Amino acid sequence: MAPRQRSQGRATAPAKQSQGGRYTPPIPRQQRHSPRWFPFVIVGLLVLGILVIIGNYAGLAPGGTSNWYLLFGIACIVVGLVMATFYH
């Protein structure tokens, strides 16, 4: 009986097909890039959220302190973090 031969290449998972039955190849790494304005918007949202929250606690917000300012500040921070996960 002959010994089993192992392949030298690495094993890859079979390509997944979408509902329509067509294979869509992944986008090459060279083509994945974010626009130049993307990191500025991320940093702007994070800083804006922090400033709104600090301004609310310091009493600098128009109309006095309010939970709506806190929610707006937290929403800005969350949107900035979500955008940061899509940055290439």
Quick check: is 18 in a domain?
no
| Mean pLDDT to the nearest integer, 10-29 | 69
Whether 74 and 53 have beta carbons less than 8 Å apart is answered as yes
Question: Residue 31: CA atoms inside 13 Å, Cβ hemisphere, count?
Answer: 4
User: pLDDT digits over 30-56, tens only?
Assistant: 777 889 999 999 999 999 999 999 999
Quick check: is 74 in a domain?
yes
| Total of domains in the chain | 1
Based on the number of CB atoms within 10 Å of its own CB, is 52 exposed (0-12), middle (13-18) or buried (19 or more)? buried
Q: How many C-beta atoms surround the C-beta of residue 10 within 10 A? A: 5
pTM, rounded to two decimals: 0.66
Quick check: is 31 in a domain?
no
Which has more confidence, 1 or 80?
80
Q: Which domain holds residue 54?
A: 39-85
Quick check: is 33 in a domain?
no
Whole-number pLDDT of residue 67? 94
CA–CA dist 38, 48 (Å, integer): 15
Quick check: is 75 in a domain?
yes
Quick check: is 62 in a domain?
yes
Quick check: is 79 in a domain?
yes
Quick check: is 77 in a domain?
yes
